Copies of this chain bind each other. A is one copy, B any other.
């Protein structure tokens, strides 16, 4: 496992049950997953030798994030290691330009886009043709709203272009809400499709997820799931794939982003599904038969806990468990920094309004120490 963040940490919970022994390449001796995986070594995922050492005799190499350089992934594969997802697939989760071009070729519905020239004046001309407003995105390395800018005119565009990054322009989609469609896919081809969920964002960061997406038109749901399956198959994705989607104001779906790993929009499945995304990621990359994504209860709501007013999450944990005993708390073992994802809370149940209010209340208590603005239980 390359990368010691919270995804690798939560993977370990599933690995314990399956009897899978994870060897971890961690960014530091006490990062999130290194706290819970005995066989970890500290190293740098941009250094091939570190990747080779941790890969060792492992039957498969998988990832907590998408930041391993493609040339290193190819080198590992050439040496007989088995990266899953493989370099040819992962490229489309690493590079938004490559992703847009490939999905367009496949006929997968996407926002209008344009790859921008590296030359500022050429890019300005291209944007003038493309039209404003436009969304500018770095092709690589963006996450949680970082590396994304909405520009309304040339002056604003020039500020972003001046950063000298490789960019694509996309239309500013008039969307009703954001959805996420996840599938797990094995090398042998088996695919398990998760319920389509609604992802609610604030400042570019996923704030809460409702599973399944309420009041979703069945034909849109089927389209979203078909898109996720098609992308997984055409791009030969192994492991979990998350396809983040816009549901447009005029009732279409458009692909926003791809992630080839367990994803924040699937955390609900730990407590809310027969088989969590973490278990199915492990099952998929090990080419084990997949488990059903069937929800255990009609509704699951996951709310992220970001760094907020509460500094001592372990002390505040007692308050949350007291006030909201049914909340499933997931702490990532991270220091609190403003806006940083430090944990999440999931609540499952039969009544969406209750479940939503309870989950929000628990997350707000954990993050900010009060339930101001939350609905009473």
Contacts and interface: CB of A to CB of B under 8 A. Distances in A.
A18 interface: yes
Copies of the chain in the assembly: 2
A291 B19 contact: no
Residue with the highest number of chain B CB atoms closer than 10 Å, among A294, A297, A317: A317
Interface in A312-329: 313-314, 317-318, 321-322, 325-326, 328-329
Interface string A173-216: 00000000000000000000000000000000000000000000
A13 to B, nearest CB: 5
Contact of A348 (B40, B296, B330): B296
A16 interface: yes
Contact of A35 (B18, B38, B294): B38
Contact of A321 (B274, B288, B331): B288
A21 interface: yes
Contacts of A21: 35, 333
A292 B292 CA distance: 25
A107 interface: no
A9 interface: yes
Interface residues of A, number: 44
B329 A17 contact: yes
A47 to B, nearest CB: 23
Given A274-B348, A288-B318, A291-B326, 18 more contacts: A9-B16, A12-B36, A13-B16, A16-B36, A17-B329, A17-B331, A18-B317, A21-B333, A34-B38, A36-B36, A288-B321, A289-B318, A290-B321, A290-B325, A291-B321, A291-B325, A296-B296, A296-B348
Nearest to A19: B331
Interface in A273-300: 274-275, 283, 288-292, 294, 296-297
A252 to B, nearest CB: 33
The 6 closest A-B pairs by CB, nearest first: A19-B331, A289-B322, A289-B321, A38-B38, A296-B296, A17-B330
A296 B349 CA distance: 9
Contacts of A328: 17, 274
A289 B325 contact: yes
A51 interface: no
Contact of A17 (B13, B38, B313): B13
A224 interface: no
Contacts of A292: 325-326
A348 B13 CA distance: 19
Nearest to A270: B17
A10 interface: yes
Given A35-B21, A288-B318, A326 B274 contact: yes
B18 A329 contact: yes
A11 to B, nearest CB: 10
